[in-house]
């Protein structure tokens, strides 16, 4: 018998659980984790090298604990792309939006408190809730994966959660959530408690519609979470951020670890911000490829959920895991998120998407 997790005095709520883990398999076409398929442009790689070299000279010192230059740059990016004026006091940054979400739950959730999400959605919201001792409530959706607003309002009134998560565009389904829905949930949450409403906009740059950032006006309990992992093509950088009332930024500082954002991370993210315009051009290409995937999958005869993200949910399969395996056997890794009947594919380069479409055409023929 080998010594394992169960032999350690781990917290009761972690017993028997599995860690988050999308397979990282070595296959020719990997379209399973909603990454941007384009490597950073060479000019940006050069700029990162320069900025990191400068930062390296000061690595004997702790980094800027408040990441002021970076937060200012992120505020400028948000202001420029949404038209909603923000400054450094409205923005907070951390190691990926996962850490942003963790800090929010450490601040506003925790033991004796609860958070609600409308599932299927980004599974880390529930997992981070568990990791921070926050109770998790799974809220309802319609069969077409839109949020069932009256049922959601009832769930909020009944459970009076401390944190409400809304992901738009939603992962893994791809659909965007209308502003009216977010407002309805926000109002229900304020009437019930009041509580914090966290809008996870990790994929918003790929949306046909606009960011909900302007809703921050006059709503201090609303938080918009963002990331450089998707549109900026920098998943390896680990840089997420939030926009909110300055009081929220002050509040999360009560739980952040001192110097949580390394000087190397700050330097790299600042270099990426200098190249925003080029990076957003890749986003336009990916949006076109996403729309092509939707159209082609429908032409093949699959059902497809409307997508505002850099991925597409398609189905329906009697056995989605068996179909996932058949696609993998053809050298293409997609994602089985455990949504019965559905799989998710990330928009890749045109060549990768062609390989995926060839694979699913073959699988469809075999299955019909
Ligand atoms: N939110 C959503 C909806 C996501 O899908 C992801 C990544 N898959 C994240 C947040 C976390 O991204 P990161 O920590 O890389 O910023």
What does the pLDDT look like over 15-62, one tens digit per residue? 888 887 677 788 999 999 999 999 999 999 999 999 999 999 999 999
pLDDT score, position 16 = 85
Domain ranges of the chain: 21-40+277-367, 42-274
Q: Is 202 in the pocket of ligand 1 (CB under 6 A)?
A: yes
| Probe target for ligand 1 pocket from 97, 99, 173, 240, with the most ligand atoms within 8 Å of CB | 97
Separate counts of helices (H) and strands (E) for the chain: 11, 12
Cα atoms found within 13 Å of the Cα of residue 93, Cβ hemisphere only: 27
pLDDT score, position 346 = 98
CA–centroid distance, 97 to ligand 1, in Å, is 6
Atom of ligand 1 nearest to the CA of 122: 3
Task: Note down pLDDT in tens along the chain; length 368 residues.
Answer: 689 898 999 988 888 888 876 777 889 999 999 999 999 999 999 999 999 999 999 999 999 999 999 999 999 999 999 999 999 999 999 999 999 999 999 999 999 999 999 999 999 999 999 999 999 999 989 999 999 999 999 999 999 999 999 999 999 999 999 999 999 999 999 998 999 999 999 999 999 999 999 999 999 999 999 999 999 999 999 999 999 999 999 999 999 999 999 999 999 999 999 999 999 999 999 999 999 999 999 999 999 999 999 999 999 999 999 999 999 999 999 999 989 999 999 999 999 999 999 999 999 998 87
Q: What span, in angstroms and rounded, lies between the C-alpha atoms of 130 and 74?
A: 29
Could you list the beta-strand ranges (E) of the chain: 29-30, 91-94, 114-118, 135-139, 163-167, 196-200, 222-227, 240-244, 303-304, 311-315, 332-333, 342-346
Domain 42-274: give its CATH code. 3.40.640.10
| Probe target for ligand 1 pocket from 126, 174, 202, 234, with the most ligand atoms within 8 Å of CB | 202
Asked if residues 41 and 240 have their Cβ atoms less than 8 Å apart, the reply is no
Helix 42-56 to helix 263-274 angle, to the nearest 10 degrees?
Answer: 150
Question: Going by DSSP bridges, is the β-strand pair 332-333/29-30 parallel, antiparallel, or unpaired?
Answer: parallel
Q: Is 231 in the pocket of ligand 1 (CB under 6 A)?
A: no
> Under 8 Å CB-to-CB from 63, ≥6 apart: which residues?
259, 261, 262, 263, 266
User: Are 21-40+277-367 and 42-274 equal in CATH topology?
Assistant: no
CA–centroid distance, 57 to ligand 1, in Å, is 32
| Probe target for ligand 1 pocket from 123, 168, 171, with the most ligand atoms within 8 Å of CB | 171
CA dihedral (342, 343, 348, 351) positive or negative: negative
Out of 3.40.50.261, 3.90.1150.10, 3.30.413.10, 2.170.190.11, which CATH number does the structure's domain 21-40+277-367 have? 3.90.1150.10
The Cβ of residue 131 has, within 10 Å, a number of other Cβ atoms equal to 16
Q: What span, in angstroms and rounded, lies between the C-alpha atoms of 182 and 198?
A: 10
The Cβ of residue 52 has, within 10 Å, a number of other Cβ atoms equal to 17
CA–centroid distance, 227 to ligand 1, in Å, is 7
Three-class SS of 11-34: CHHHCCCCCCCCCCCCCCEECCCC
Q: What is the largest CA-CA distance in the chain?
A: 64
Q: Is 171 in the pocket of ligand 1 (CB under 6 A)?
A: yes
CA–centroid distance, 242 to ligand 1, in Å, is 12
| Probe target for ligand 1 pocket from 99, 227, 231, with the most ligand atoms within 8 Å of CB | 227
pLDDT score, position 24 = 79
Q: Is 229 in the pocket of ligand 1 (CB under 6 A)?
A: yes
Instruction: For residue 259, give Cα distances in angstroms to 242, 270, 280, 336.
Output: 17, 17, 30, 37
Q: Is the ipTM of this complex over 0.95?
A: yes
CA–centroid distance, 344 to ligand 1, in Å, is 15
CA–centroid distance, 348 to ligand 1, in Å, is 17
| Probe target for ligand 1 pocket from 93, 120, 122, 176, with the most ligand atoms within 8 Å of CB | 122
Q: Is 117 in the pocket of ligand 1 (CB under 6 A)?
A: no
CA–centroid distance, 125 to ligand 1, in Å, is 10
Q: Is 337 in the pocket of ligand 1 (CB under 6 A)?
A: no
The residue among 80, 98, 76 whose CA lies nearest residue 88 is 76
């Amino acid at each position: 018998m080998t010594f394992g997790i169960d032999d350690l005095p781990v917290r009761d709520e972690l017993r028997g659980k599995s860690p988050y883990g999308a397979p990282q398999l070595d296959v020719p076409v990997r379209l399973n984790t909603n990454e941007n398929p384009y490597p950073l442009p060479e000019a940006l790689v050069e700029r990162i090298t320069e900025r990191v070299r400068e930062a390296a000279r000061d690595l004997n010192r702790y980094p800027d604990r408040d990441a002021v230059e970076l937060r200012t740059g992120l505020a400028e990016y948000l202001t420029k792309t949404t038209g909603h004026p923000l400054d450094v006091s409205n923005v907070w940054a951390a190691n990926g939006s996962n850490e942003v979400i963790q800090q929010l739950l450490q601040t506003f959730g925790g033991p004796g408190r609860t958070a609600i999400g409308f599932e299927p959605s980004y599974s880390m919201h529930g997992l981070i809730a568990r990791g921070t001792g926050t109770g998790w409530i799974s809220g309802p959706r319609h069969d077409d994966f839109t949020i069932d607003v009256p049922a959601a309002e009832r769930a909020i009134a009944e459970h009076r959660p401390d944190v409400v998560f809304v992901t738009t565009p939603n992962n893994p389904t791809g659909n965007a959530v209308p502003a009216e829905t977010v407002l309805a949930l926000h109002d229900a949450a304020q009437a019930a408690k009041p509580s914090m409403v966290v809008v996870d906009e990790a994929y918003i740059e790929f949306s046909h519609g606009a960011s909900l950032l302007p809703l921050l006006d006059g709503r201090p309990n609303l938080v918009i979470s963002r990331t450089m992992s998707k549109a900026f093509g920098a998943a390896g950088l680990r840089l997420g951020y939030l926009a909110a009332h300055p009081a929220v930024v002050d509040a999360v500082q009560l739980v952040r670890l001192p110097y949580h954002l390394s000087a190397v991370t700050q330097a790299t993210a600042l270099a990426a911000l200098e190249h925003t315009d080029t990076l957003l051009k890749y986003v336009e290409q990916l949006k076109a490829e996403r729309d092509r995937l939707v159209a082609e999958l429908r032409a093949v005869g699959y059902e497809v959920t409307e997508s505002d993200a850099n991925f597409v949910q398609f189905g329906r399969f009697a056995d989605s895991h068996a179909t996932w395996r058949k696609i993998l056997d053809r050298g293409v890794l997609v994602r089985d998120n455990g949504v019965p009947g559905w799989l998710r594919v990330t928009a890749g380069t045109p060549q990768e998407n062609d390989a995926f479409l060839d694979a699913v055409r073959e699988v469809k023929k075999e299955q019909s």
